[in-house]
Structure 1
Amino acid sequence: MGIHQHYRKEEHPFIDQALSWIDHVEKTYRMKRTDFLDPREQQIVETLARTSMEELRVYKRGGGDNAERRRLIIAPMYDEVMEESFQLTLLQGSYHDKFVSLGHRDVMGAFLSLGIKRKKLGDIVVENGLIQIVIAEEVAPFVLANLTAIKMARIRLEERSLSFLVEQDVNWAESSQVVTSLRLDAVIKAIYKLSRKDAAESITKGLVKVNYKISDDRKLILEAGDMLSLRGKGRSKLVEVNGRTKKDKVSITTALLK
């Protein structure tokens, strides 16, 4: 089993992919640039790189300081990694928000409808009639030529400098909870203040994500650092497991994204 035993089974394919990237850099002494990875995938790559036999560094960029999805570069210690090495492109457009309402899901859906994979797409900003999309440089010309409408809104995207990217505030509100166990249904129930039945149904209906992947396993045991989300209720995370209470329940610290 080796290193895989430290990760959940569903993460094993990505573990294998990340290990192949690291092996490639070790053997060729040439940097490897990834597609956009979510924070959990970024964490995995950084952890695995630290176990490498070679002196490797992992760099990451997503366009802004608070970027969630980022491209990583795995490189030998001596390699110089420049900003342009990440090959990020910012596309910006506008729409009449008085006549049509657009959200993150609408923009991502329009992007994916072009036949481009999600891994080529970074963060999306949609606010006050403004659309900004950070994408992989190699697909930018195709997106510029073909993404001309989102829902009922006609748009015209233009390439802009990353310095124009609107930084989105990240505000996590922490709180202490006491749960019967670290099962997914118990933690979701506590964070979102749901009944046991509603928490279970949300999971079985595929409305809950764990580390950015849909999980329908109510009995999944969570760990500190796991990122959660419930459709329509926002994102949250299990910050810390504090131990058992006198009544043999579990004290945890959680955080909800405001």
Structure 2
Amino acid sequence: MSIYQHFRPEEKEFIDQVLNWRNQVESTYAGKLTDFLDPREQQIVKSLIGENAEIKYAFFGGYSGAERKRAFLYPDYHQIEEEDFQISLFEVEYAKKFVTIEHPQVLGSLMSLGLKRAKFGDILIQNDVVQLIVSKEIESYLSLQLESIGRASINLKQIPLSDAKTPEEQWQESALTCSSLRLDAVLAAIFNISRQKAQTFISSKLVKVNWTVIENPSFECREGDMISARGFGRAKMMGIEGKTKKDKWRIVAGKQK
């Protein structure tokens, strides 16, 4: 039985990468630190490493409740510490009285520097406070290169991880049924819209699963998936609990408040 059959075809490359990380730790008996992973990638790491007696894993994204996290794979003798994750936190200094900075502007400015998304974690915005969680290896480059966000001229101030502004993110869980695990059916159930409308959203490139635009309405949703639809917000597939007597799927979904 192939290990790939438990995952999606487009995840094969990442699966191979995780298996290489595991083999590297097993052969060198030294820890392996990854870039920042989204929740779906974290789930794949958990599945592939499992409860291996010799190889352990841990995740950390700079603060409790982080969405994007770095993984550290390590031999069982190693005592895990926060420093193993090599994460830095910056606060953005800007003219708060005159300018507003929003999440898309921050993300766009970081990407325009040629940085891979995997090199930085969550972007924290609380009122007018803007913070960036990044991998330590890019902190010098970022300090030198990031001079503006949107129309705002900025300076970066490095601060302790303990000063991270934890976002107040809440999820409202619901037990739902849907005719199948196809994206159009799941989307219709979660956001209480017609399946036809869900299909229109998908074909219009307004729907993402795990941060990737999905245009195929028959795309199969799985536990742990993050689903977003423009204008409706985000939802998590928190659980798939089997089928009802009427052959419908029982799912638990969380919608962001």
TM-score range, shorter chain: over 0.9
1:19 corresponds to: 19
2:39 corresponds to: 39
Write the distance in 2 (CA, Å) between the matches of 1:246 and 1:75: 45
2:90 corresponds to: 91
Q: Which amino acid aligns with 2:24?
A: H
Gapped regions of structure 2 (runs ≥ 5): none
**Alignment check: 8 A CA contact 1:210 1:229 kept:** yes
Q: Which amino acid aligns with 2:157?
A: E
2:209 corresponds to: 210
Identity within the alignment, %? 42
Q: For 1:91-150, what per-residue CA distance to the aligned partner results, in whole angstroms no more than 9, with x for missing partners?
A: 101334553332211101100101111110101012322110000111111111111111
Structure 2 residue 83 is the aligned partner of structure 1 residue 81? no
Distance change in 2, residues 1:128/1:225 (3 Å):
closer
1:5 corresponds to: 5
Cα RMSD between the aligned structures? 1.8
| TM-score of the two chains, using structure 1 as the length reference | 0.92
Q: Which moved more, 1:39-48 or 1:171-180?
A: 171-180
Distance change in 2, residues 1:97/1:218 (3 Å):
farther
| TM-score of the two chains, using structure 2 as the length reference | 0.93
Report how many residues are paired: 257
**Alignment check: 8 A CA contact 1:236 1:257 kept:** yes
Q: Secondary structure at the match of 2:228?
A: strand
**Alignment check: 8 A CA contact 1:96 1:129 kept:** no
Distance change in 2, residues 1:99/1:22 (3 Å):
same
Q: Secondary structure at the match of 2:177?
A: strand
Q: For 1:9-45, what per-residue CA distance to the aligned partner results, in whole angstroms no more than 9, with x for missing partners?
A: 1111100000000000000111100010011111211
Q: For 1:194-253, what per-residue CA distance to the aligned partner results, in whole angstroms no more than 9, with x for missing partners?
A: 233331122122222223332211011223332211133221122333444454433332
Distance change in 2, residues 1:238/1:145 (3 Å):
same
Distance change in 2, residues 1:242/1:43 (3 Å):
closer
Q: Which moved more, 1:73-82 or 1:209-218?
A: 209-218
Gapped regions of structure 1 (runs ≥ 5): none
Residues 1-258 of structure 1: pairs in structure 2 closer than 5 A: 2-50=2-50, 55-258=54-257
Q: Secondary structure at the match of 1:157?
A: strand
**Alignment check: 8 A CA contact 1:97 1:128 kept:** no
Residue 81 of structure 1, CA deviation:
2.6
Q: Which amino acid aligns with 2:56?
A: R
